[in-house]
Amino acid sequence: MQSEYIIEMLNIRKEFPGIVANDDITLQLKSGEIHALLGENGAGKSTLMSVLFGLYQPEQGVIKKNGEVVTINNPNDATALNIGMVHQHFKLIDVFTVLDNIILGAEDTRMGFLQKQEARKKVEELSRRYGLKVDLNAKVEDITVGMQQRVEILKMLYRDNEILIFDEPTAVLTPQEIDELMATMKGFAAEGKSILFITHKLNEIMAVADRCTVLRKGKYIGTVNIADTTKQELSNMMVGRPVQLQVEKKDANPGDTVLEVKGLTVPSKIHKNDAVKNVSFQVRSGEIVCIAGIDGNGQTELIHGLTGLEKTSGGTITLCGKDISRGSIRYRSETGMSHIPEDRHKHGLVLDFTLEQNMVLQSFQSSRFQKLGFIKNDAVRAYADTLIEQYDVRSGQGPVTIARSMSGGNQQKAIIAREMDRNKPLVVAVQPTRGLDVGAIEHIHKELVAQRDAGKAVLLVSLELDEVMNLSDRILVMYEGEIVGELDPKTTTVQELGLYMAGAKKAEGGK
């Protein structure tokens, strides 16, 4: 008898020392459905998927495919069962071409020589059929994140996988790319493939999923039909308390100018053109200024030029009345800038350091944490404990946890704790909520508003339209390295903002 479910994980329990990561969790995936797996960071989603992939063996519970019990001891077993996964952090080889990455591990060979022609045809066919545009000859390091994700998806399709798992697939995508991905996923489901969609973005679940299973702190909360539920209900299930989805804030009360940027120009590392062209703007104390725009329009370079990570080729930056245009990174940050970086793994954290070592990354040289060059371990530990408590940073072993082993949301919380506690007049936050769940986003939004209300100048870079509209007091839209418009979120619409972002509209002078 054919079971209704293609994959069932029944009563799964997985323990780690000191923590029950999965406690009696049941997940049943119907054939041809899009099933969302919702939960906060650390709720046990990744552990559950690792169990499905044979990376961990559960203490209790069984996995069934088409109603029959299967044992999955390693990822090869999972592959043999036609289960494929797009990981949150892509597993691609940067210096290989797209085609080589797709066939890697499933290459055809004849007498020891690679046979790529057949593979190329198959991939091209798949790419056409599902509208997954990729350049097969490009090297992965040269293509956009969105295209890298399409490569990952093609990898699964190339292996004829029936069960497709997407782990936080939209965390790294632009709004347009997200729409495309959603359409692709629907297409797969229509063809009878079963999709498990791990996420914490409620909008996306409402848009594509048929059913949703919610986990909280390792426990199974329930499975609901999307047609019968609301965003608010889902988020309450996930967080365990009523969550504010809308940011609550008073009107801004801007004060003196904290940051003044005049004619800033930053050369591009990739192209001959400047990535940032003659950009001028100000940020005053007590306001949140948001730089909106589609990814890759110079926002990263603007922030790098501002913080000193990249050299600028023109213009002046004045922070708290001091010209910092030529200052070192340290001088700039000491003058009055805290910086929540865009890439938390590259810039935000030393992943192989412990949490407490990361907490003092900016401040280890202050007399609070060192005496005559010797680090005061007790002071560092006490400080880390305070921040962990205050910002609710969750980790396996507290201050001595290796940062690499923490979940993305908690890594970000650690960075935010460190930067906020430095208490500088200017807060530069670049995509601070990227890849985070509603609970954490709510927390970070409140924190940024609190910083504003405390008289800080907040410069926010965001790709999320909701965030831009909700949080900012002024919006500057960047398009191809220029600021093409300044908008007031109270009087503008998402549609108008979209037009500016797409370059279809342009204000004169763009302050």
Select 56 or 158, whichever has its Cβ closest to another protein. 56
Q: Rule CB under 8 A: say whether 423 interacts with another protein.
A: no
Interface mask (CB under 8 A) for another protein, residues 315-354, using x and -? -------------xxxxxxx----x-x----xxxxxxxx-
| 111 token code pair | 């007498």
- Residues 6+ away with beta carbon under 8 Å from 311: 266, 267, 305
DSSP per position, 10-51: EEEEEEETTEEEEEEEEEEEETT-EEEEE--TTSSHHHHHHH
Out of 10, 11, 19, 217, name the contact with another protein by CB under 8 A.
Answer: 19
Span 114-173, contacts to another protein by CB under 8 A? none
Q: At closest approach, how far in Å is the CB of 472 from another protein?
A: 24
Out of 405, 453, 494, 504, name the contact with another protein by CB under 8 A.
Answer: 405
Out of 28, 47, 97, 161, name the contact with another protein by CB under 8 A.
Answer: 47
Select 21 or 276, whichever has its Cβ closest to another protein. 21
The number of residues in the chain equals 511
How wide is the angle at C-alpha 288 spanned by C-alphas 282 and 289, nearest 5°? 45
- Give the Å distances, CA to CA, from 499 to 39, 294, 477, 479, 485: 34, 11, 10, 11, 10
Select 21 or 239, whichever has its Cβ closest to another protein. 21
> In the block, which residue shows the tokens 């709720």?
43
DSSP 58: -
Span 231-260, contacts to another protein by CB under 8 A? none
| 351 token code pair | 């992943």
Select 232 or 366, whichever has its Cβ closest to another protein. 366
Select 28 or 358, whichever has its Cβ closest to another protein. 358
Q: Which residues pair with 36 in a beta bridge?
A: 197, 212
Please name which of 41, 46, 51 lies closest in space to residue 13, comparing C-alpha atoms. 51
Helix (H) or strand (E) holding 102: helix 98-103
Q: Rule CB under 8 A: say whether 364 interacts with another protein.
A: yes
Q: At closest approach, how far in Å is the CB of 71 from another protein?
A: 15
Q: Rule CB under 8 A: say whether 361 interacts with another protein.
A: yes
First to last CA, the chain: 68
Interface mask (CB under 8 A) for another protein, residues 366-385, using x and -? ----x--xxx-x--------
What does the alpha-carbon distance between residue 398 and residue 388 come to, in Å, rounded to a whole number?
8
- What are the residues binding another protein (CB under 8 A)? 15-17, 19, 21, 42, 47, 307, 309, 328-334, 339, 341, 346-353, 357, 361-362, 364-365, 370, 373-375, 377, 396-397, 401, 405, 407
